Structure 1
Amino acid sequence: MTLHPIESGNFKLDGGAMFGVVPKSLWTRTNPADANNMIDMAARCLLIEDGDRLILIDTGMGDKQSEKFFGYYYMWGDHSLDASLAKAGFHRDDITDVFLTHLHFDHCGGCIINNPNGNGYLPAFKNAKFWTNENHWNWAVNPNAREKASFLKENILPMQDSGQLNFIKKTTKDSFQTSSELDFGIFFADGHTEKQMIPRIDYKGKTLVFAADLLPTAGHIPLPYVMGYDTRPLLTLDEKAQFLNEAADHNHYIFLEHDAHNEIITVQHTDKGVRLKDTYTFNQLFK
């Protein structure tokens, strides 16, 4: 097995929305804001090269939305999904599986592209299976008013229309299970959105956990630092506590999807609770 971090593009989001009830005077210590109150964000995906399978975890926003849409997110930097795949030696047509932690636009928008003939949409990965789970799919295609702006039908329905949609089966009542479909562990979390899936991968003697939106940035480690976007913030508190305590107990390496300045972190127990231990680049750990 070989892993490749895939940078699909950087953007900005409102810092207040990213930290919920936490005062700006506290969250700006780790996530400084610009004059518009926006903080730096990444859309960092992960590519798993495993035998004859090439599995991409999340895909970023993509580039098919309107100029007005992207104007809300202050895109910055030179990263792109295609360029990052090429740097790893691959093309999107090589991808066999796309695993989606959840179906918010900044995680799945890159799955779908505009049809070149100007009529509708096409899967960006024509040879891949798209993996979500049935509970989350139903949640996304019948969105509540709070999340409706994040579940864009043009990002989601073409997966089904193309016949490439597949569901991970949740086989246990426990929050963690090993996926028989993709051969890695999955932590199911319901605080941010229904049945978000957090992959856990054993690699080169280390356990790497892809944090997705359970832990967006290193600045979100303290338990009350919960995004305003989360649909069930009190449940997020419990899920973060379980996730972070396990990470501290077992020295998990946490791969941060949205932290533009910290790629991988570890955490430790302190008298103030679980806190940041060390930060790493992927190359420092695995190259």
Structure 2
Amino acid sequence: MRLSSEVTKVAFDDSDHILTVELVNQLDGNISNLTCNHVIWTTSVGYLKENFQKIFSSEPDLIHQKQSSIENLGFGTANKVILVYDAPISFWPDNTADLHPLISVNQTKYSLNKGERAFLTEQNVDPSQAQFVLDGVLCVSPSVSMRFVIVWIVGEAALAAESFNELVLAYLCHNIFLSRYLNGAVDNQKPSRAIMSYWNKNRFERGSYSYLSVRASLDDRDRLRQSYTPDGIPRVVFAGEATHSHYSSSVHGAYESGINAVQILRQYLETASDCR
């Protein structure tokens, strides 16, 4: 196992029938190579969009096989803000499981008041950007016993939220969003922390889920899932949620795709062993 190492190149040697994988150590910058018979590739579509052609630059057939599908598939972001409280939350209604904002197409969810705008300005946050993020809240889920509330922010608003600090996130999600939906019941209990995921900022992810864009089809998922077989043998086997034909955009889809990739190699190795 190689920790803190980034794969920067994968090349197939058709004379020796072997893969060479180039690694860059993220701690000291040292470059090393390892050789192997097979690779299971599990990175996100967002990462592939930025790095696929560079990493597999010596494999034009592989690029031809998958590049259009990588471009066609969409890749979005859903971030969650976890509001952490020092004591079990007391403000959540007993008869409410989750909050899901419902508004008309031409309506915004909030109109920031003077005090809220002043606070955001003090934090060097554009109030219109804060408004945009609040409009991107998809749902809110509590966990009373665990003392936290999860706020899901999606789409372009999720990207904008990644520029806000912990104080601003707590203010937007608790003081404004929850206060208005729960009619001020949250005023006597404030979060001690606001922890957020940064899926788009992470250069190894660039988002959190794939989807079928207007120019994509299920065939693109099938092509992305196809193994690279330069010598008739599955040398690079692809997995990840985007390759799943039924459960894309999900953790269980990603898990099942990994199991499928292992089974592809296992089946090949068992067959090759029987032929010896």
Q: TM-score when scaled to structure 1?
A: 0.27
Q: Going by fraction, where is helix more abundant, 1 or 2?
A: 2
If you compute each CA radius of gyration, which structure gives the higher value, 1 or 2?
2
TM-score, normalised to structure 2's length?
0.28
Query: Whose strand fraction is larger, Structure 1's or Structure 2's?
Result: 1
Kindly indicate whether structure 1 or structure 2 has the higher relative contact order, using CA contacts under 8 Å at least 6 residues apart.
2
